[in-house]
Structure formats: C-alpha cells, structure tokens
Chains A and B, each alone.
Chain A
C-alpha cells in the first residue's frame, strides 16, 4: 500500500537527550514536511524539503534538525535545545511542480513526551 509511515507511534525523551522521529513515504513524492501540533492549536511547520539533499526552515525550526539523504525518508531530530518538545509530530509529503499537484498527505503521527 502506498502511504506515509511514521515511527514510533509514541516516544519518550529524557532531559538532555536527542531523539529522532522517522518518516518514510512510498508515494514517489519529491517534497516532505514536518509539523508540530500542540493541544488546541493548528499545525506549525518545522522544516520542509523540496528535493533530496536540500531543506528549509519553517516557522519553528529552533531546537530541531533534519536530513534528506533519500527521496523516501525525512527524519526529524528533536535536540536537547528544544526545551518544550512534548507535542504531536506529523510528517507530510506532496508532489512538486504545478500548484495543482501540491496536496499534502499526512502520516499517522508520533506523540513525543518528556520523562
């Protein structure tokens, strides 16, 4: 089945620890995105990548890092510099090119909590 797979579903972080959230897609999409969702709030963009080996900061990139070594994969690292990491993290992907194709499709999310 084609889709976006996020793992793990739940993740716990200790103080001072870096953790990495996985996002894999088999939709052959060029672009991938990471969003953060806090209770009662909309999604906020952390990072996005339009092509392999290139990515841009979103609105709330501080304390996060990403890599895009493969088209299918866009892992997000929550570093110890992120002081309030507890949130629901959603990964998305889309085609690029004409605007008409740029619908973002989402994974099932990872819920990160601090121990």
Chain B
C-alpha cells in the first residue's frame, strides 16, 4: 500500500531563513507522481508542483525548489529566504500509476514564518 510521511508537524522560522520540508513516500509502483500543495489559512489547497517517477531532475521556481531522490524515496521542498506569506500548511501527496487518479496525502507540515 502506498504511504506518504511528513515527519515534521510544525516548523517555525524567522523571515529570510531557508527552510526544508521533508517528504518520504512508499509505493510498489514503478510509475507514480508526487505532488506538493500549499494550504493557507483560507483553507483552499493550492497546487505547487508535480513530479513523475521517471524525472529525478530537481526543479527551481523562484524561491521554491524541490529535490527528488528515488534512492531514498524522498521529495523534499525548500523555500529560500522565507517570507511571512509562506506561512501555511504544506502537503506532500502521491499518485500511483494505476487508474482512478487517487491521491494519498501526508499529514502536512505547518510552517510559521515570523518577522
């Protein structure tokens, strides 16, 4: 069965610090997709990134970067020079290659960025 683990329940940083959110996954499929979503206090989940299992290339988007390592089954998310607006709950999710487009979510990491 597939599983996503986000061991960090809550992280607090001071603005401009860099922060990394960890995500470890388990799956027996060779084809799968990994996602990160942001949930601000308003509640809506905002899609950030999708990565497929065949593409281990790291990605950078502005202050955000993602490190995908199949050898350790991890898909970590780094925010550089954090800002107060980055305060939110961040979820990592896994979709296996079979039908149904079902996502398995981790329990989320609450990030608090303070001035």
Contact = CB atoms under 8 A, between A and B. Distances in A.
A and B are interacting partners: yes
Interface of A: 31, 40-45, 48, 50, 56, 58, 88, 90, 92, 94, 96, 99-100, 102-109, 111
Of the four ranges (under 10, 10 to 19, 20 to 34, 35 or more), the interface on chain B belongs to 20 to 34
A2 to B, nearest CB: 14
A94 B106 contact: no
Contact of A103 (B31, B43, B50, B108): B50
Given A48-B102, A108-B42, A43 B91 contact: yes
Contacts of B46: 106
Given A40-B9, A99-B33, A102-B95, A45 B103 contact: yes
B44 A106 contact: yes
A66 to B, nearest CB: 15
A56 B99 CA distance: 12
Interface string B32-50: 0101010000111111001
Contacts of B108: 40-42
B75 interface: no
Contacts of A43: 45, 91, 103, 105
**Residue of B45, B46, B50, B93 contacting most chain A CB atoms (<10 Å):** B45
B105 A107 contact: no
